[in-house]
Structures are given as structure tokens and as C-alpha cells.
Structure 1
């Protein structure tokens, strides 16, 4: 399939300061390329057995759209219980507070839905951030209409009921030790794709106040919270050129496996131009290092306790995947031809393999990629059609997730006309 070239990506970057014009030109160019290259009308291709979770559920659930959310979490626990998001509201439309989505807890052995939990705090990219805390407990975000605030709720598989709630929403968690929280109202104001719509957008005065917003740490046992890092601290860290009068936010927090450090993306907007930085911090209140600061950071993951894998603008201003040593800050270009061909994606790793995807190519196919760190082999697992009716905020990235034993890949897709959760067995 024809992919977008380096010069086409650079041209798209040139129009970042003109977002309305960029959206129009991008949309027109996508239509033109699809008209030219859509000779292959197949909706998906993979040599592996492709299974839709919709088809495994009782008939009453099959008519709905299902998805899991972001690429940094895995939908199943070790006992074959699955979590997913479900909606009867069309995901071709922007999320609406009038139409809540449901989180389903499913016993996959018996193909039985055990719990259906409604939530009004969601988006199409990350759902409600539902994920497992351990084999029994899972957490999700919701909106408390009485308190007019976003909250986190914890449910138990063994009890089949809610067992705990918190006054802050979750972004990432470390088991039942602690979780980290961000301001989804600020996110919704600056980037609605990842925010929640239950509260009004923040005013310019509110956005420019940086001392009372940032990253919170919440103790799971006591519920005690503290502002671990303010946006003011983050904006002032290791820089002389960050404009404190710009609009700042943080997003995409990812905790390492030992729970003592995490990475996050600091983004700020100056005259509609976005600047990204990738930062490393510990959970004791110490900002440790700026890992990348060259305008663009896209998607990241932990390869191991010492290494970050990320798509960003790095050496010689080349946009590509890089590995970064968190101790030395050394950045190394990931020079794999298959990954370089398809460009930006959503990478994750189990230590042995790197799994990622691509954005739609010129024929509107997204590609699923797997790289073996041990022997350097890379292969394409499949390609999946992404229709034009899903775009911008309603797009459906594959957001692939690899099982711990690397035998199964889950991903979201609209290849058959509606948002569904699929898996392939490798």
C-alpha cells in the first residue's frame, strides 16, 4: 500500500500554525488519495485468525459498538475476565454527555456479561481509562453530577460491585498503591480528543494559571491526594525558552513496572503552534530529566526500566522512532525499514517484542507491526481499512495491545463499518 512520504509529513507540519486550513487541506488530500489508490477494496487482511469480540457476546450486545481504549493497557486479567467500553451511540459523532457509555465486565470462558457500568466521562480515544489494578479490581473514570467533578471508581470481580471511589480521575495507576491524575477539563479545552465534556471549557484566565494545576498523586488506601508537580514547576524545568504565558498541559502519563518513575508529555501552545517535551519524573516529587525537547513528541512506551521507546523529532530533526536511555539521555535512532516506512504509531512492549500500528495510508489502511528485539526481525501482522466517515476526533486508531506471553494481540478497528474490538492469535 502507498504510504505518505517524508516530504508530505513535513508539509503537514508546516501548516500546524494554521489549524483550520490544515484540516481542510488534509481532508481534501486524503479524499484525493483514496480516490486514486482505493483499487483494493478489501476491508482487512491478515494471515492470522481474526476474531471480533462482538461475535463472542450474547446477541443483545452484538449490535453495539465496542472498543477498549488506549494502547498502554491490556483488556484481560489473568483469569480470562475482560473489560471493554460499549455504546449504542454512534462513534462517528463526537462524544456527548447526553449519551453515557457502558463498561462491560465479561467472563470470556462462559461468554457472559457480569457487570454493566454506566459512565459519562469518556472519549473515543481512551474511553474512560478503565483498566485492571490487579486480577480482582479495576478502575474507571466517571462524573459526579452532585459534586460537579470527575472521579475514579473501583469495582471488584469477586464482589461484582463498586468497592471504592476517589475524588480525582485516574490517568495511570500502580496497582493498589497509588494512581496519578490530571485535569481532564484542561485537556478538553486544549485537546478535546482526550478530554471529558461534562464541565464547561476553561477560560483564558484559568488556563494561564499554572500553580494550582498539573499532576496529582493519590494514595489508594487512604485516598489522600497531593499536587505532585504543578504546571508552573514543569514549565520552568530545564528550559529557558518555554513561554509561561502560553497554554500548558500534560498528558499521557506512563508509570514504569517498579512504580518509582514515570514519563509524561508536556505540551504548550503559542499562537496555535504546539510544542512538545518528554519528561521523566519520580513519584516522590523530583523532576528528573527532559528526555526530548525538539518541538514534537508523539507516542511512547517503556521498553525496560532503563529505556524509553518513542516516536519524536530527534537527531538531525528526523521524525522517527528512537530509544532513549533515561540515565544518560542518549537518543538512538530505531533504524528499522518496516517501522520507518509507516511512520508514527502507538508502540508498546513486553520486553521481547515491540508492537505498533500506523495511521491510515493513502488507501486508508492501517497496518499492524511487530518487531522482535532479540533477533531484529520485523513483520506486518495485518492491515485494516479505516473509512472516511471516521475522522479527526472520531478516528479509530488500532491502539494495539500485546498479551504478556506475546501470543495474542487486541486492537480496535472500524474495518467492518463500526468500532469493534478484535484480536488475533499469533
Structure 2
């Protein structure tokens, strides 16, 4: 059987009943912590609005035994609708320390830093560097320039106090991916944009602006993956070109797992980028997106390989094996993660259907090649690329529940979904 609606109900429950709008952000970090007793999130004043450098999001958590109260522990003005403030646990099992981005003087990237907060002591410590993702071992994080991202991929960047950065160098040799020591705050550049351009150079890179996104660290904290992207037209995401790359935490042993360099007719002078729909880019046949480690040596990603686009599982090795996941069943780009307790189960979602505006939450049984549609959630078509609300599903630590962000009830809220009837079958 290739596709099945859930035979058992999967109860959906809104988290919290306090005033305001709540969300967590991206799919790649779980907001569940302390044996699933705590749930991290952001609280904002309204469900959608234009962000400015002064726009505040409160940082806090819910006690899942009593989910009516959002416990505020801080606030930030360094955030966006897609990834929030990069709020994440530094020790999800213990659920004691967390980190999030803020505006600060900033040593590496002026204007931005991060805060480490200890829930047990109530103490906070400021780092003069923002972070993208913290290693599971809690010792280091990796980061890039969020003001550069605001120009190249606005939905995941931060605007500076004085507005967008102008005259960005296309491919500098003094900026790139940095490693941050979470104890000392010291930074080290792992690879520069110029270094990436020189790595298996492609002619399409010559006039393009370069950046890095979707950085992820494997469970053992000894390999890093990221997307290297470049384009001559940042206004049109269908013009983005992509490479999936891995490396060691010191910048050594760099491997290109996939490259989707291809001709771009959209660069013709008479092409109108305003005619590109909000989700056209996410449905491109050349898109490489949403990579994540399945384990220490395998990476799942939505992208093309050997001329066709699927969910692909890559071995992190030179000339490593590439396997299609859900061929003919999982046919759309989504935000996917494997269950933390059983990699038989792959969790993902879809972008809104162009007719119904419904997005589907999916559990895929990898062993038996069966798709379970857990639920369908309406997405307001009036939302823009910048302030949309993707489901971004995130597993609980015990693999029995899922947390999503959604606006299907006309507010931006977090929801808990019990999937135990499926995963325990």
C-alpha cells in the first residue's frame, strides 16, 4: 500500500490559551525539552506584520502539564517569521540551557549577538556573535551574516538598524561560515565565500552573489552540512543555484554531495520576476532544500539527482550512495525529519495546494513505503513569502507527538498532535 489516511485519529490540540500569538520557527530544531515537559516558543503581538529592527518577540516556554501559561524568560528584536530568533536547546534532554539571537554590539557581525539562558539559575550570558545552529554536544555553534541573508534570502535574514546593507561584496574572502566557541565566544572562519567559489568552480558563479544557509550539525557533532547558494538575481528565487556540502568542524574534508547548476532563462532581460508565485521556488525541479542529518553519516534532502527530483538520502562520502525515499508517493518539497527514536518514520509536510490552500502533515513509513496523511491545515493565501506560516513539524523527544506552527484558526499558534496511533502500529 503506497498511501493511506490515518486509520486512527491523531488528536490536535492548541498549545496555550494566553493572549498573543505564538510560534517556534524552523523544522530542524526540536522545541521539546526536559523529557518533553517543556516546549520553547516565541510570543508576538499580532499574527502577521512587517518586521522592523525594533519589533519585539518574547522568548519563553510552556510547561506541557499546564500549557495555559507562557513563561517569558527574555525578548529579542533579532528574528524573522520563518526561523524566529534561532531559539534552541543547548541540552534538550536536560532542558536547562537554551540560546537565541539578539541585537548587540557584535564583534563578528556588528549589531547582532546571542544569549545563553539557564532556566535553573535564571542567569543569562551574552555572546557578541549570533548563531545559526548549536552542536548537539553544546560546545560550539556555527553562524553566518544575517544581514547578508536579508539581501540574498530575505525570509531568513535580519535587517540592520540602519536598514538593508548596501554594496555587499559578491564573494568576499574575509567572510563565510564561522564557528563560535560557546564557552569563550571565540570565532574561527571555517570556509570563505571566495573559497566556496573556487571549490569545483562553475562559470555561473562568476557574476553571482554567494551565501550559505541551512547549516546543520550531525548528532556526534563531528560533521557539518550546509547549502552553498549563488544567483545573479536575488529578487527571483527560481534563479538560485545550489550545492549540498559537508565538512569537518574545523573546515577540513569538504565534500560536495550534490550540485544543481543549470541554465537560467529567467535571467533574460525581458523576464518579469514579479510574475513568480510565492511558492513557485519551493516547487522548482532544481531546488535543493531542507537538508538534515538522518544520523551521523546520512543526509536527507529534497532535491534533484540524476535528472529527477525526490527526497534523496545521501551517504556522506566521496561518490557515496544516493537513495530515493518515497518514490512516486512523496512528490512535493517539504520540511522533513526522522523520528528521534525510530528512523522507520519520516515526518514532513507540504506547501499550500494552489486551489484549496491546504497544507498536509505527513508521516511516511520508510520500511513499508506507506504514507499516512495526519492532517490538513488551511493557509491564508493573503500571507506573503516573508510572513507566511509553514507547519515546520517537530518531533517530541519520545517520538509520540509532533508540534507544528499554524494559522488555520486565524491566529498564529503552536499545536500538539498525538501521532502515537500511527508510530506504534
TM-score, with length taken from structure 1: 0.82
- Alignment pair present for 1:292 and 2:258: yes
* 1:338–1:379 CA contact under 8 A, matched in 2: no
Comparing 287-296 with 331-340, which one deviates more in the overlay?
Answer: 331-340
- Secondary structure of 2:32's match? coil
* 1:130–1:138 CA contact under 8 A, matched in 2: yes
- Secondary structure of 1:151's match? strand
- Secondary structure of 1:254's match? strand
Of residues 139, 144, 156 in structure 2, which corresponds to 1:182? Answer: 144
Using the alignment, how far apart are the partners of 1:149 and 1:219 within structure 2?
19
Change in 2 beyond 3 A, CA 1:145/1:288: closer
Aligned match of 1:355: 347
Aligned match of 1:370: 363
What is the Cα deviation at residue 245 of structure 1?
Answer: 3.4
Using the alignment, how far apart are the partners of 2:175 and 2:114 within structure 1?
18
Aligned match of 2:219: 257
- Alignment pair present for 1:314 and 2:305: yes
Q: C-alpha offsets along residues 119-148 of structure 1, whole Å, 9 cap, x if unaligned?
A: 000000000000100121000000026985
Using the alignment, how far apart are the partners of 1:221 and 1:384 within structure 2?
41
What is the Cα deviation at residue 287 of structure 1?
Answer: 4.5
Matches within 5 A, 1:122-133: 122-133=79-90
* 2:16–2:62 CA contact under 8 A, matched in 1: no
Aligned match of 1:417: 410
Aligned match of 1:282: 248
Change in 2 beyond 3 A, CA 1:115/1:161: farther
* 1:186–1:207 CA contact under 8 A, matched in 2: no
Aligned match of 1:86: 43
Of residues 89, 96, 99 in structure 2, which corresponds to 1:139? Answer: 99
* 2:106–2:128 CA contact under 8 A, matched in 1: no
Q: C-alpha offsets along residues 2-47 of structure 1, whole Å, 9 cap, x if unaligned?
A: xxxxxxxxxxxxxxxxxxxxxxxxxxxxxxxxxxxxxxxxxxxx93
What is the Cα deviation at residue 332 of structure 1?
Answer: 2.3
Comparing 195-204 with 358-367, which one deviates more in the overlay?
Answer: 195-204
**Where is the helix percentage greater, Structure 1 or Structure 2?**
1
Give the unaligned 5+ runs of structure 2.
Answer: 1-7, 262-286, 420-425
Comparing 250-259 with 373-382, which one deviates more in the overlay?
Answer: 373-382
* 1:121–1:198 CA contact under 8 A, matched in 2: no
Change in 2 beyond 3 A, CA 1:84/1:235: same
Give the unaligned 5+ runs of structure 1.
Answer: 1-45, 56-61
Aligned match of 1:171: 132
Comparing 302-311 with 379-388, which one deviates more in the overlay?
Answer: 302-311
Aligned residues: 369
Comparing 414-423 with 292-301, which one deviates more in the overlay?
Answer: 292-301
Using the alignment, how far apart are the partners of 2:365 and 2:395 within structure 1?
13
Using the alignment, how far apart are the partners of 2:349 and 2:301 within structure 1?
13
Comparing 261-270 with 238-247, which one deviates more in the overlay?
Answer: 238-247
* 1:401–1:410 CA contact under 8 A, matched in 2: yes
Aligned match of 1:35: none
Aligned match of 1:103: 59
Of residues 324, 330, 343 in structure 1, which corresponds to 2:314? Answer: 324
Cα-Cα RMSD: 1.9
- Secondary structure of 2:147's match? helix
Q: C-alpha offsets along residues 185-221 of structure 1, whole Å, 9 cap, x if unaligned?
A: 10001111000123432223x3325111111101122
Of residues 160, 181, 202 in structure 1, which corresponds to 2:165? Answer: 202
- Alignment pair present for 1:118 and 2:75: yes
* 1:188–1:194 CA contact under 8 A, matched in 2: yes
Using the alignment, how far apart are the partners of 1:294 and 1:384 within structure 2?
31
Q: C-alpha offsets along residues 384-407 of structure 1, whole Å, 9 cap, x if unaligned?
A: 000122221111110001123220
- Secondary structure of 2:333's match? coil
What is the Cα deviation at residue 288 of structure 1?
Answer: 2.0
* 1:353–1:372 CA contact under 8 A, matched in 2: yes
* 2:325–2:366 CA contact under 8 A, matched in 1: no
* 1:247–1:268 CA contact under 8 A, matched in 2: yes
TM-score, with length taken from structure 2: 0.82
